[in-house]
């Protein structure tokens, strides 16, 4: 049996082929897994559990079928879907986890997180992250009419794209640096949680990295995004494989 890890699908109505690929992945593979972990950014944007999008309904229905097959599903919110709440979790049949969380993976303690917490050199984003995770800010935002929240989400995405283009144009090396993890922060998380394995997404740089933390040899697994193809980490008692779909 295998445990599956995915992240950064960024599902929305503009990429129906990827949404269908995800549905096929759930039908053909996830139903036979030990567990499924979704480590954030399942959606391109999520403005509240009253979201009425077809994509949201499609995903909830397919995840619910996996859960009905006896497979537990766990979800960590990302930087695009941090407003996913207990209402949608109940409809989709998954359990919300804190970010980060330590799980036992075939007898081995493993740290899982979305990954944006590791990108500490991007001070502007970290400020927004702290504000957007504040319960008072979220309550105020969710009180806005749905159409207003959709407009705000579209504006945030536009602003993010403009900022990224500017960073790439001004200093490509700086862009790569601040949008990737900070090595010292990674080591600090390994030391704080006392684990040898870390799994995260967010950076869209799929790879398995060896990390030396003091006397310990550790591994950091980065999940891939689903912009043009699928990406999944398959883990069992014998090891792990990071593969494309």
Q: Please state the domain extents for the chain.
A: 3-244
Q: Could you tell me the two tokens for 33?
A: 């897994």
Instruction: Give the whole-angstrom CA distance, residue 86 versus residue 89.
Output: 5
- pLDDT (0 to 100) of residue 156: 86
- pLDDT of 172 above 80: no
Instruction: Give the pLDDT of residue 218.
Output: 97
State the average pLDDT for the chain: 94
Give the pair of three-digit tokens for residue 116.
Answer: 């944006």
Distance between CA atoms of residues 226 and 206, nearest Å: 11
Q: 165 falls in which pLDDT band (50, 70, 90)?
A: confident
Q: Which two tokens stand for residue 162?
A: 């403009």
Over residues 38-85, the pLDDT tens digits come to 999 999 999 999 998 999 999 999 999 999 999 999 999 999 999 999
Confidence of residue 192 (pLDDT cuts 50, 70, 90): very high
How many helices (H) and strands (E) in the chain?
8, 11
Name beta bridge partners: 208.
221
Measured at the alpha carbon of residue 78, what is the angle toward residues 165 and 44, in degrees to the nearest 5?
Answer: 60
Q: How far apart are CA 97 and CA 38, in angstroms?
A: 10
The secondary structure of 97-138, three-state, reads: CCCCEEEEECCEEEEEECCHHHCCCCHHHHHHHHHHCCHHHH
Confidence of residue 160 (pLDDT cuts 50, 70, 90): confident
Q: Which residues pair with 96 in a beta bridge?
A: 75
Determine the pLDDT at residue 186. 97
Query: How many Cβ atoms are within 10 Å of 139's Cβ, its own excluded?
Result: 9
Which pLDDT score is estimated for 182?
Answer: 96
Question: Does residue 170 register a pLDDT over 70?
Answer: no
Mean pLDDT of 124-152: 95
User: Quick check: 171 pLDDT over 70?
Assistant: no
Look at the pTM and tell me if it is higher than 0.85: yes
For the chain, the helix, strand and coil percentages under 3-state DSSP, each to the nearest 5: 40, 25, 35
How is domain 3-244 classified at the CATH fold level? Answer: Purple Acid Phosphatase; chain A, domain 2 (3.60.21)
Angle at 76 (CA atoms; ends 21, 118), nearest 5 degrees: 105
Per-residue pLDDT of 7-20, as tens digits, reads: 999 999 999 999 99
Band of the pLDDT at 1, cuts 50, 70, 90?
confident
C-alpha torsion 74→78→81→84, nearest 10: 40
Average pLDDT over residues 101-127: 96
């Amino acid at each position: 049996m295998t445990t599956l890890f995915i992240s950064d699908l960024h599902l929305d109505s503009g990429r129906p082929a990827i949404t269908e690929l995800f549905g096929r992945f759930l039908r053909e593979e996830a139903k036979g897994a030990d567990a499924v972990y979704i480590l954030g950014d399942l959606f391109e944007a999520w403005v509240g559990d009253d979201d009425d999008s077809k994509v949201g309904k499609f995903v909830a229905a397919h995840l619910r079928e996996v859960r009905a097959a006896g497979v537990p599903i766990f979800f960590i919110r990302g930087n695009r879907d941090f407003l996913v709440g207990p209402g949608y979790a109940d409809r989709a049949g998954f359990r919300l986890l804190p970010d980060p969380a330590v799980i036992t993976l075939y007898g081995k303690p493993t740290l899982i997180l979305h990954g944006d917490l590791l990108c500490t050199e991007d001070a502007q984003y970290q400020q927004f992250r702290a504000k957007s995770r504040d319960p008072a800010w979220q309550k105020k935002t969710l009180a806005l009419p749905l159409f207003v929240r959709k407009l705000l989400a579209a504006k945030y995405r536009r602003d993010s794209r403009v900022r990224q283009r500017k960073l790439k144009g001004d200093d490509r090396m700086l862009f790569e640096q601040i949008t990737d993890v900070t090595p010292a922060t990674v080591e600090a998380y390994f030391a704080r949680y006392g684990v040898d394995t870390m799994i995260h997404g967010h950076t869209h740089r799929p790879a398995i990295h060896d990390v030396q933390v003091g006397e310990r040899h550790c591994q950091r697994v980065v999940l891939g995004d689903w912009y043009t193809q699928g990406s999944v980490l398959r883990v069992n008692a014998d090891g792990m494989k990071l593969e494309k779909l």
